Each structure stands twice: as C-alpha cells, then as structure tokens.
Amino acid sequence: MAIKALSGLEPQWYEPPGQDEDEPKTRFELMPLNGRQFMSLTNALKADFITPDIDARADIALKYGLIGWENFCGKNGEDIKFSKDNIDLIPSSELTRIVDEIVICSSMGDEDRKNS
C-alpha cells in the first residue's frame, strides 16, 4: 500500500471547560501540527527521557498550533487581540490544557478528525 499524505489538517475551536454559562465563552483556535512539527515536538520529549523538556514541547505546540482566540479579555474586560506575544497572558493552567488539545488533535488520524 502506498503512503498517503496528511490531510484534514484544519483549524478547530477549543472551549476550555468550567466557564460561566451566562457570559460569552473564551475559545482558542487550534491547528493540528503537520508531520515535521509533530516530530519536533516528540523529539523534544525524547531528548532527555529522565527529564523531558516540557517547555520545548509547549513552545513548539503553541508556536504552530495556537492560531487565534475569541473572547479572551483582560482584568478590566478589555478584549485582548491575538498575537504570539499575548500568549504569555494566558494562565498556565489553561496553557497546559491548550497544549494537550493541540497534541491530541495532531495525533488523530483523518477518520478521527472527520468525526470530532
């Protein structure tokens, strides 16, 4: 059987759980990583098996996988425009969930992506 190219790598929205039902929900736009990007991510984990470089994993996932957001606001309710610099404003607990979601959606096969 011939090797088939990746397909179905389309952005998807991730809505973190636990948000107030009465307010507009914050959503993050995620792009599954392509083959080379995913290899860079897994290589960062394999580089030091005893102490994997989690920061490198997160940096790679966020660099390529987080491409936008909606309803992400500052302390006074002001809308924060998406930029790679503003990623640092996302709380670490949410960053962890976002990175996990990027890894999950990047690990899915074509059929899984169609059904999600």
- In tens, the pLDDT along 61-110 reads 999 999 999 999 999 999 999 999 999 999 999 999 999 999 999 886 54
Owning domain of residue 42 = 25-115
Q: Is 67 within the bounds of a domain?
A: yes
Query: Does pLDDT of 30 surpass 90?
Result: yes
Q: Classify residue 22 by its DSSP letter.
A: T
- pLDDT score at 48: 58
Give the per-residue pLDDT at 11. 93
* Torsions phi, psi for 37 (to 5 deg): -65, -40
The average confidence (pLDDT) of the chain is 84
Q: What's the pLDDT at 113?
A: 44
42 lies in some domain: yes
Asked if residue 1 is part of any domain, the answer here is no
Q: Is there a contact between 67 and 98 (Cβ–Cβ < 8 Å)?
A: no
What's the pLDDT at 6? 63
Q: So what's the pLDDT on residue 31?
A: 95
- The amino acid at 78: E
> Is 100 among the domain residues?
yes
Residue 95's CATH number: 3.30.2220
CB 62 within 8 A of CB 99: yes
Total domain count for the chain?
Answer: 1
